[in-house]
Structure 1
Amino acid sequence: MEIGKYVNGLTQKDGIYFSERTSLISYPEKGNEDFFKIEDNSFWFEHRNKCIYMAFKKYAINNLFFDIGGGNGFVAKYLEDRHIESVLVEPGINGCMNAKKRGLNHVICSTLEEANFEKNVLPNVGLFDVVEHIEDDLGFLKMIYNYTEKDGFVFLTVPAYNFLWSNEDVDAGHYKRYTIKTISKCLQLAGFKIEYASYIFSPLPLPIFLTRTLPSVLGFNKKSDDFEKHQNEHKIKKGITQKTMGHFLNKEILKISEGRKSSFGSSCFIIAKK
């Protein structure tokens, strides 16, 4: 794939394309490094990847995927390993270097604004837990609309429900949580048509409320940067609880493949078309 067909003015070094400058983003400095240690053994990242892949197979009409704000390239590499050509666009240099370690071929170190994309050229765009980090979410989605080709798709996940807000959101650099209605409206105002909208991670709202939201409200969880805690939460475990959770999560993947929706979950999963 020729990167120059899609972007202008980038320089290449050590297999990574760089823009001239990169603006600050609302994301913890250690975020990519911490997640790089977690992703490969995380039931959460594994399930999200399976949902994304199933949706791509069902809806995408072009075998090229641009993962915007894709961190360490965990999604992009998963798709590329399944013969979907993928490009990571990530402003954090550590994330880009981690993506190269994973063997991802196409990595752009830049924010979306400064990557100098041509307009109307991106066939499939991924925004996976990205939009909540952007204060002007509508302005950002309008920018995505301008870069997406006619009949192109945006695949998007965001955290769900304001009642699950906690210090975890504050420390992660989130501006808000969403519902299917609010994120769909934002996409529609940006010009997109909603093709599919569902919640995912249906077993998680109650555990999140009990272990994150409630302690935050009661003042027991003022700082949430405990790496070992995060690692333990994500770890794939054995036992009846994990089997039960796996049953519900597998049903979500089946629903996506059939175009059916889940009415409750800790994340919103949207597929929109230009």
Structure 2
Amino acid sequence: MKRCLACDAVYEADIWRCPKCDTLVPLEDGFLSFAPALARDNDGMASNSHEQLQALQHGSFWFRARNRLITDLVRRYFASSQRALEVGCGTGFVLTALRQALPHAVLCGSEIYLNGLPYAHERLKGAGQLFQMDARAIPFREEFDLLCAFDVLEHIEEDGLVLQQMAQALRAGGGVLLAVPQHPGLWSRNDDLAFHKRRYRRGELEQKCAAAGLEVIFSTSFVTSLLPVFALQRSTRSRSKDHDPARELQLPWFVDRLFELLLDGERQIIRLGARLPAGGSRFVVARKTPGARS
């Protein structure tokens, strides 16, 4: 169901015009814009981030390996999803993985910056619904079987509010798949340049999910094998003021391939149901608690 962000009315309609207060959601650059004031400037990330990501993602072990883990987890826990939304879809790189995992689902993607959506549109070749949105105000109620947010929550001060909004947008029995950076001790210049608000402590995201009415059913670390490498790098080079974080993702091909193989090894372990105790990232799977308020 659609939710009016002006008056909080919930309605069914073909167009985004509220029958209660007559608010019409505008189009900007061809996309529905639910938070136009934040579409070109906000404190969540740099405005040129999507251009940088578009150039880096295919050539980086990190994005390729993460996509394969996402595909595995969606197939394991949410294979029957009919409607799915990725919150903070960026350039649509992960949406392609979601499409592989859910070939018959209605797939949606939201992004706070408008400039990421044309890349996502091109990647999906029009086979998805894309819109500009503030994750703290999701304009849906009981609409989706799956909501995803990958390396998004750490950019938002009110992450608990985002999780509540996600829970309200889920249908009964629906769930979320989340990924965040973890271990505050790894904080570096990279996090400052990425506009991160936090790196998560172990168990922190799980607690916030529970507070939002989401029952955690699986949680694991990822990038465990590379943790010593990242810890060393972030304690040295990444603390310099002229550090460019993109350099971490622009590696010689043989190093990139080695790192990818290591992460694929972790993925195989996770596929067996193991939960890795420490790593640069934390993945959490949770379902809407029966009887949770919508």
1:79 and 2:98 matched: yes
Q: Distance in 2 between matches of 1:28 and 1:147?
A: 27
1:110 and 2:126 matched: no
Q: Distance in 2 between matches of 1:181 and 1:5?
A: 41
- State how many pairs are aligned: 264
Q: Counterpart amino acid of 1:63?
A: Q
1:70 and 2:89 matched: yes
1:269 and 2:258 matched: no
Q: Counterpart amino acid of 2:114?
A: I
Match of 1:55 in 2: 73
Match of 1:251 in 2: 265
2:45 to 8, 23, 27: 27
Which SS does the other structure have where 2:179 is aligned?
A: strand
Match of 2:21 in 1: none
User: Counterparts in 2 of 1:96-245, with a 5 A limit?
Assistant: 96-102=117-123, 103-104=125-126, 105-114=128-137, 116-117=139-140, 119-216=141-238, 220-225=239-244, 227=246, 229-233=247-251, 237-238=253-254, 242-243=257-258, 245=259
After TM superposition, the structure 1 stretch with the greater mean CA deviation from structure 2, 76-85 or 97-106, is: 76-85
Q: Is the contact made by 2:136 and 2:161 (CA closer than 8 Å) also made in structure 1?
A: no
Which SS does the other structure have where 2:46 is aligned?
A: coil
> RCO (CA 8 Å, sep 6+): is it higher in 1 or 2?
1
1:17 to 32, 47, 70: 32
Percent identical among aligned pairs is 23
Q: Is the contact made by 2:68 and 2:97 (CA closer than 8 Å) also made in structure 1?
A: no
Q: Is the contact made by 2:237 and 2:243 (CA closer than 8 Å) also made in structure 1?
A: no
* TM-score normalised by structure 1 residue count: 0.86
Q: Is the contact made by 1:55 and 1:256 (CA closer than 8 Å) also made in structure 2?
A: no
Q: Counterpart amino acid of 2:56?
A: I
Judging by fraction of residues, say which structure has more helix.
1
Deviation at 1:145, TM superposition (A): 1.5
Q: 1:111-155: CA deviations, max 9, x gaps?
A: 2345522x2222100110001011121122112112222211110
* TM-score normalised by structure 2 residue count: 0.80
Which SS does the other structure have where 1:180 is aligned?
A: coil
Q: Give structure 1 stretches of 5+ with no counterpart.
A: none
| Cα gap change, 1:4 to 1:196, in 2 (>3 Å) | farther
Q: Distance in 2 between matches of 1:147 and 1:76?
A: 19
Q: Distance in 2 between matches of 1:69 and 1:257?
A: 25
Q: Is the contact made by 1:194 and 1:273 (CA closer than 8 Å) also made in structure 2?
A: yes
Deviation at 1:20, TM superposition (A): 5.8
Q: Counterpart amino acid of 1:112?
A: A
Q: 1:173-226: CA deviations, max 9, x gaps?
A: 00110133111111111111001000011122222222223345xxx5124346
| Cα gap change, 1:10 to 1:78, in 2 (>3 Å) | farther
Q: Distance in 2 between matches of 1:260 and 1:116?
A: 36
